[in-house]
Amino acid sequence: MNWIILVIAGLFEVGFASCLGKAKETSGAESYIWYGGFLICLTISMVLLIKASETLPIGTAYAVWTGIGAVGTVLMGVFVFHEPATFWRIFFICTLIASIVGLKAVSN
């Protein structure tokens, strides 16, 4: 169950990074809405990370959480913010995914 909580926490990390990206593109009241989304996603992500780390090793939990956030944020950048999807970006994202799966496989 804590692995599911950790994955959800990682998805909220993608949410707060994406909100920062959208806030950067806007101005006025709209940017404050995106900053509000950032704070909400950040809070939920941290609370879920704390909950998951109660039974998972903190080193593994943190690495998986940041890995999910990194992969998700890059994918959001490519598909939402139209950032380049070069061969090397995709290659290293794939190695990061393999590392996350490996950490899950060797954790108790």
Residue 1's alpha-carbon distances to 5, 52, 56, in angstroms, are 6, 9, 11
- Look at residue 103 and tell me whether its pLDDT is greater than 90: no
Cβ atoms of residues 88 and 73 within 8 Å? no
What pLDDT does residue 92 have?
94
DSSP one-letter string for 28-72: THHHHHHHHHHHHHHHHHHHHHHHHTTTS-HHHHHHHHHHHHHHH
Which of 21-30, 33-42, 96-105 ranks highest by mean pLDDT? 33-42
Contacts for 84-90: CB closer than 8 Å, 24+ residues apart: none
Extents of the domains making up the chain: 2-106
Residue 21: which H helix or E strand, with range?
helix 2-25
Q: What is the mean pLDDT of residues 38-67?
A: 95
Which of the four pLDDT bands, split at 50, 70 and 90, describes residue 8? very high
What pLDDT does residue 93 have?
93
Which of the four pLDDT bands, split at 50, 70 and 90, describes residue 81? confident
pTM score of the predicted model: 0.86
